[in-house]
Amino acid sequence: MSAVRLAVFDCDGTLSDGQAGVCNAMAVAFETAELGEPDMHQVRRIVGLSLPQAIRSLAPDADEDQLLAAVEAYKAAFRQSREDGSLREPLFDGIPDLLRRLHGSGWTLGVATGKSDRGLNSTLSVNGLTDLFTTLHTADRHPSKPHPAMLEAAMADAGAGRMDTVMIGDTVYDIQMAANAGTRSVGVAWGYHEPQELLDAGAVGVAQTMEELEALLNG
């Protein structure tokens, strides 16, 4: 019996482009908590962290009441945009076909993301991808990346060993999580951190295209 090959994907910046929704919700969060205007370049760079950690990173001088207010305002703004139909989180071109090819060739697929359960389930269901994934883990149930808990849980769900698991992500948080879990990692160049940052963090390679990503996974 062959070993399970597990490919675990980050979501925002790797599978989907949720930049606009994140930036808009963070602007509302900062205004509500009276934290001024966030630096949107820095907002894009913290995508992938759990929400409290992300806001703490962006506003290190905020007190606990402001932090809590910002977290709740962000969640409310994001939920409102999803409910009123204004939220746009399109998949990157080629992602659905790539996932189906990997699934069809025997890869077990998972997600490890800083999104909420609700947010991840919405992204996958809207795009008809839910059935492709065996294991889904979010910041609702685990410590923030780069803690290895999400990736370790995914391996346990799939029955996969560290040597047969690869993490795919666009930020150093993904690559560091993989290192902390003892697995291989592959970066993608279409997300929020620069390719050299991903290589410096330990990625075995950084894909510029879906074809390159598939080759790196199968290499």
Strand pairing report for 165-169 and 6-9: parallel
Place of tokens 């150093």: 172
H or E stretch covering 135: strand 133-138
| Residue 10 known to be catalytic | yes
Query: In whole angstroms, what is the distance from residue 105 CA to residue 47 CA?
Result: 30
Query: In whole angstroms, what is the distance from residue 197 CA to residue 19 CA?
Result: 19
Residue type, 142: H
Query: In whole angstroms, what is the distance from residue 85 CA to residue 134 CA?
Result: 28
At CA 177, angle to CA 173 and CA 182, rounded to 5?
A: 150
- Please tell me which residue in 10, 17, 170, 174 is annotated as part of the active site: 10
| Residue 117 known to be catalytic | no
Query: In whole angstroms, what is the distance from residue 184 CA to residue 4 CA?
Result: 14
Q: Are 139 and 113 in contact (CB under 8 A)?
A: yes
Selection from 179, 160, 175, 168 nearest residue 210 by Cα = 168
Q: Where do the DSSP E strands lie in the chain?
A: 6-9, 108-113, 133-138, 165-169, 184-188, 206-207
| Residues belonging to the active site | 10, 12
